[in-house]
Chains A and B, each alone.
Chain A
Amino acid sequence: MAGWLEQLLGKKDKSAEQAKERLKLVLIHDRTDLTPHQLEVMKNELLEVISRHVAIDPSAVKIDMAQDGREQRLIADIPLKPANARRR
């Protein structure tokens, strides 16, 4: 029953799905020539600059590469801390 449901709902353990997920990541890095390590370094530098001007919660920040057709985008989602939190 569980196996049957899994087959119907989730394709996670299918090898084609794994191939697709692995390729997604590989292609992003092939296209941009940016390694996951370099992305991490860039993210930390960006956070440093931004927090010099506004208060942010580093753990809430999301910076990732995304695919848009054949173009790559760097998407940053940086929630700001409320102003009263900043005054304290």
Chain B
Amino acid sequence: MAAKVLTITSGKGGVGKTTTTANIAVALAALSYKVVCIDADIGLRNLDVVLGLENRIVYDVVDVVEGRCRLRQAMIRDKRLPELYLIPAAQTRDKNAISPSDMVRLCDELRNEVDWILIDSPAGIERGFRNALAPADLVVVVTNPEVSAVRDADRIIGLIEAEEKGPARLILNRVNMNLVKRGDMLNADDVLELLAVELIGIVPEDEAVVVSTNRGQPVALDGKSKAGLAFQNIARRLNGEQVPFLSLDEKDGFFARLGRMFRTGGA
């Protein structure tokens, strides 16, 4: 096995990086891939709670780097999926506790053991982001259809290119189709025109995400919600499958379907 290292980043905080990481991890594991996700947000760990694994932490990524435990001991196995693991961030240290070369070494140690290594990057463009970017084979930028998030996404895409980790792929998260239809929210075409990168997923704003995060059960565990399905599609696209983008229309009535017939690609 030769794992692919996928880093999930955004520049701006609060756009859904951790939720995206958790759900792509779950969706990839459900496709029978062996997946390890690493929380690179030292001092502000959250991937553990979003995955519902917070009660099982013994060692964290800093313990591994500083040699207090073996890599295996810090890998928490998810009981819902046979081949999903989490390496949590340290909560009481800061981002300078590890370096980009530590992350490269850590991922190299995992590469022959798993299919996918997912790294949840912290917000910002500092050390934590550099740590998350250093081992990446593939970088996904998460953004929302809002001016501040798109601007920060553009900045981060530029930095990824400068580090020769590009081209970055884009996930447009929390799209509210009612607002898009009213002309009060940027749509995927607008954002793609502005950022000029390849789109790998459109995730609708979905109450199911809030509910599932409350329970520590990522939406992608079952594909009943639109957001869950969107994350499952992203996982399939990451494996080279051609999956059409979801229609985000609330009502799938006659006119919606008729409208789609005349549009290429769809929403």
Chain A residues near B (Cβ < 8 Å):
11, 14-17, 19-20, 22-24, 26-27, 30-31, 67, 69-70
Our pick among A15, A24, A30, A67 for the contact of B184 (Cβ within 8 Å) is: A15
Q: Which residues of B contact A16 (CB under 8 A)?
A: 179-180, 183-187, 190
19 contacts between A and B (CB under 8 A): A14-B182, A14-B184, A16-B184, A16-B186, A19-B186, A23-B151, A23-B194, A27-B151, A27-B154, A27-B194, A30-B155, A31-B154, A31-B158, A67-B196, A69-B196, A70-B157, A70-B158, A70-B161, A70-B195
Instruction: Count chain B CB atoms within 10 A of each CB in A15, A16, A17, A30 and give the residue with the most.
Output: A16
B35 contacts the other chain (CB 8 A) = no
B180's nearest neighbour on chain A, judged by CB, is A16
Residues of A within 8 A of B58 (CB): none
Q: How far is the CA of A30 from the CA of B183 in the complex (A)?
A: 26
CB atoms of B155 and A15 under 8 A apart: no
B150 CB–A CB distance under 8 Å? yes
Complex A-B, nearest 4 residue pairs according to Cβ-Cβ distance, in ascending order: A14-B183, A69-B196, A70-B196, A15-B184
Contact of A20 with B186 in the complex, beta carbons under 8 Å: yes
Interface residues of chain B, those whose CB is within 8 Å of chain A, are: 146-147, 150-151, 154-155, 157-158, 161, 179-180, 182-187, 190, 193-197
Find A17's partner among B183, B195, B197 (CB 8 Å cutoff): B183
From B151, B180, B184, B196, give the contact of A26 (CB < 8 A): B151
B147 touches A23 (CB 8 A): yes
- Measured CA separation A70–B155 after assembly (Å): 11
Q: Which residue of B lies closest to A15 (CB)?
A: B184
Q: Could you say which residues of chain B place their CB within 8 Å of the CB of A15?
A: 183-184
Tell me the smallest distance from the CB of B31 to a CB of chain A, in Å. 31
B residues within 8 A CB of A24? 194
Q: Determine if B185 and A70 form an interchain contact, defined as CB atoms under 8 angstroms apart.
A: no
Instruction: Give the distance in Å from the alpha carbon of A23 to the alpha carbon of B195 in the complex.
Output: 10
Q: Which of B182, B183, B197 is the most central at the interface, judged by chain A CB atoms within 10 Å of its CB? A: B183
Closest chain-B Cβ to A65's Cβ sits at a distance in Å of: 14
Q: Return chain B residues, CB-CB under 8 Å to A11.
A: 183
Measured CB to CB, the closest approach of chain A to B248, in angstroms, equals 15
A30 to chain B, nearest CB (A): 6
Query: What residues on B are CB-neighbors of A17 within 8 Å?
Result: 183
| List of B residues within 8 angstroms of A19 by Cβ | 146-147, 186, 190
Nearest Cβ in chain B — how far from A83, in angstroms?
Answer: 42
Q: Give the distance to chain B from A14, nearest Cβ to Cβ, in Å.
A: 3
Q: Are B194 and A30 in contact (CB under 8 A)?
A: no
* B171 nearest CB across to chain A (Å): 18
When chains A and B are docked, how far (Å) is the Cα of A22 from the Cα of B258?
33
B155 contact set on A, CB distance < 8 A: 30
What's the Cα separation between A23 and B118 when bound, in Å?
Answer: 30
Contacts of B183 in A (CB 8 A): 11, 14-17
* Min CB gap B143→A, angstroms: 11
A30 in complex: contacting residue of B151, B185, B187, B196, CB < 8 Å:
B151
Query: In the complex, which residues of chain A have a beta carbon less than 8 angstroms from the beta carbon of B157?
Result: 70
- Determine the residue in chain A with the shortest Cβ distance to B146: A19
Task: List, in ascending order, chain A residues with CB within 8 A of B187's CB.
Answer: 16
Contacting residues, chain A, for B180 (C-beta < 8 A): 16
Q: How far, in whole Å, are A33 and B7 apart by their CA atoms in the complex?
A: 27
